[in-house]
Structure 1
């Protein structure tokens, strides 16, 4: 059997989206940001995730959302033979600068029907520490 130059016997077998690497600009964690009543509202699409799989953290003025999912699906025929088995494990993360003045208490989050809604104040004045005299030696 003679193959054409540049043709691989496995091209047809592996010509499937399942085997292609995920593009860094993929459709994970699509986010809309709105301003509502002096607050910012982030609406983030996270279909297929459970509430327990989503973590939100605030550090140095950055709000970070991390979602982790581990799926193991198996289809069997009526004889119990595996017809298809798919596994997926992955983590996606996005960060947003929200301000150094925003605290964990200011952030409200709700997960409903595959969409994460996060609300935090738009303009919260940064608390200025009370000045203290500096001793001179």
Structure 2
């Protein structure tokens, strides 16, 4: 499960529609609509959550994974010390937000979140990039 900053995760590319995702992974194990009317797919085997944005013609815009084999720039991430991983990555600007026992470490230039608990990374979130014109840079055409 390769996390590819600015592009997507695994075979998923930002900008895909629901039919393209279903062609790759089959029907989701769970599907629901969030408060913003986005459609969310959950795939248990891949340990992945996929968001299709309602205001972007239901294009894939956000991915969350907790897959233990997830890699970022060739490095396994989950279960590792967050400080160690952040030092290894070429991304040097991080914002940190605390939520009870978890922390989000956000790198805006790659729209990447490393979520940690007790100092270890427990999940990776990645979103489609928004350019200077306030438009999404879709990777799937």
TM-score range for the pair, normalised by the shorter chain length: under 0.3
Larger radius of gyration: 1
Give the strand-richer structure, 1 or 2.
Answer: 1
TM-score (ref. length: structure 1): 0.28
TM-score (ref. length: structure 2): 0.27
Give the helix-richer structure, 1 or 2.
Answer: 2
